[in-house]
Copies of this chain bind each other. A is one copy, B any other.
Amino acid sequence: MTEDHFDDTPVQAERFSQTRTAQSQALLEDYTEMIDDLIRAHGEARITDIARLMGVTHPTATKAVARLKREGLAVSRPYRGVFLTELGSGMAERVRGRHRLVVDLLVAVGVPPEAAETDAEGIEHYVSDATLTAFAAFLTRQP
C-alpha cells in the first residue's frame, strides 16, 4: 500500500520503451542472420528459401527484404538474390555471436539443447552488451 508511486515511473517506462525498441529490431536481425547463413551455404539468398526457413509466405519475406533495403542493410535486383551491405553483414555477424553466446549460456546453466535453441531465437534480441559480457565471463570460468 505504498503511496510513493511516482519515483520509479521514468525508470520502469524506460525499460518498457527499450524493450519495444529491441522488438522492432528483432525481425531485421533474424532476416540478416538468415540471409547471411544462406549466402554462406549457397552463395546467394533467394526469397523462396528465406521465406521457407522463416516459416512465412514469400510476399511476407519480400516485404521484410524491402524494409532491409530501405534501412540500408541489404541490396537486390528484381528476380535476383538478396545480398547484404557492409552494414547488414556487420549486423549478421553480431547477431550470430549473440545467438551462440545465449545458447551456450543456457546450456551451461542446464537448459536442454533443443529448448535452448528455440528460446535463444527470442532471447537473443533482448540481451544488452553488459549482459553479453557477463555471459562470456561466466562461460570462461565455468567451461
A interface residues with partner B (beta carbon < 8 Å): 1-2, 5, 9, 12-19, 22-23, 26, 30, 41-42, 49, 52-55, 105-106, 109-112, 115-119, 121-123, 125-128, 130-131, 134-135, 137-138
A115 interface neighbour in B16, B26, B41, B128, Cβ under 8 Å: B128
CB of A141 to closest CB in B, whole Å: 9
Copies of this chain, whole number: 2
> What residue in chain B is nearest A6 (Cβ atoms)?
B52
Determine chain A's interface SS by DSSP, over half rule: helix
Residues in B whose Cβ lies below 8 Å from that of A121: 15-16, 18-19, 126
A13 interface neighbour in B41, B55, B115, B117, Cβ under 8 Å: B55
A135 to B108, CA, bound (A): 11
Judging by beta carbons under 8 Å apart, are B1 and A16 in contact? no
Residues in B whose Cβ lies below 8 Å from that of A115: 128, 130-131, 134
